[in-house]
């Protein structure tokens, strides 16, 4: 084993897989298939400039829109994304797969990184969310995986910083990390799937 690989294994940082994401050209069709297999229900959100600030793609300011659905199943989050407009790594993935889509990324909690989350006495609010995100970014980049896409999702309270890293050439999928502020409250979704009935 090379010294570089031995060093990487001696410094694990990815932590637990907390989310699996399917990218699709047809959000509702994919959600229907997942619900038929017992995964769901989902809440749908629009990631647009008014809901996601600080949008970047490959280190440059960007403007993108993505329809996103989330379902909590046991300790795992299932996410489905349909790119709507602008340059995104999700659209790049659809282009590479002939618009077929599939599992495009997995997200890690990066719990093993020596960072702000280790200090349980300090709430992860405001600037400390960005500090934590930057520490994770530095660790990915030190291993040769540059930032591919990022943004800051605004909650009803608090923020969520998400970062996608260019790991595709190395492992044929994208790795993501997500940092929520301790006061995070998810915004209202725009739609439930399957739709609620009798309410």
- Is residue 12 pLDDT above 90, yes or no? no
Distance in angstroms (rounded) separating the CA atoms of residues 121 and 119:
5
- Is residue 66 pLDDT above 60, yes or no? yes
What is the tens place of the pLDDT at every residue in 157-190? 999 999 999 999 999 999 999 999 999 999 999 9
| pLDDT at site 47 | 98
Under a CB-based contact definition with an 8 Å cutoff, are residues 187 and 158 in contact? no
Under a CB-based contact definition with an 8 Å cutoff, are residues 102 and 171 in contact? no
- Region 2-26 average pLDDT: 88
| pLDDT at site 199 | 46
How far is residue 82 from each of residues 69, 120, 190, measured CA to CA in Å? 9, 36, 15
Q: Per residue in 51-87, is it b (16+ CB within 10 Å) or e — as a string?
A: bbeebbbeeeebebbbbbbbbeeeeebbbbbbbbeee
Strands 76-85 and 17-23: parallel
What is the tens place of the pLDDT at every residue in 120-164? 555 566 678 999 999 999 999 999 999 999 999 999 999 999 999
pLDDT class for 6, splitting at 50, 70, 90?
confident
70 HSE (CA, 13 A, CB side) = 16
What pTM value is reported for the model? Answer: 0.90
Instruction: Give ∠ CA 38-41-43 in degrees, rounded to 5.
Output: 150
Task: Match domain 3-182 to its CATH number in 2.40.128.130, 3.40.50.880, 3.30.700.30, 3.10.180.10.
Answer: 3.10.180.10
Q: Which two tokens stand for residue 66?
A: 């993505």
Under a CB-based contact definition with an 8 Å cutoff, are residues 160 and 166 in contact? no
3-state secondary structure of 22: strand
């Amino acid at each position: 084993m090379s010294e570089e690989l031995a060093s990487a294994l001696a410094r694990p940082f990815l932590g637990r897989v907390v989310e699996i994401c399917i990218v699709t050209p047809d959000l509702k069709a994919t959600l229907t298939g997942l619900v038929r297999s017992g995964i769901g229900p989902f809440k749908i959100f629009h990631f647009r400039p008014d809901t996601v600030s600080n949008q970047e793609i490959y280190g440059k300011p960007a403007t993108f829109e993505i329809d996103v659905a989330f379902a909590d199943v046991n300790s795992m989050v299932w996410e489905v994304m349909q790119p709507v407009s602008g340059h995104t790594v999700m659209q790049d993935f659809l282009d590479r797969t002939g618009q077929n889509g599939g599992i495009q990324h997995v997200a890690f909690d990066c719990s093993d990184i020596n960072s702000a989350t280790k200090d349980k006495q300090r709430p992860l609010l405001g600037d400390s969310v960005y500090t934590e995100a930057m520490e994770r970014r530095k660790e990915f980049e030190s291993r040769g995986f540059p930032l591919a896409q990022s943004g800051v999702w605004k909650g009803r309270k608090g923020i969520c910083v998400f970062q996608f890293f260019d790991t595709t050439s190395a492992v044929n999928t994208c790795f993501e990390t997500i940092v929520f502020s301790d006061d995070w409250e998810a915004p209202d979704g725009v739609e439930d799937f399957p739709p609620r009935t009798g309410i």
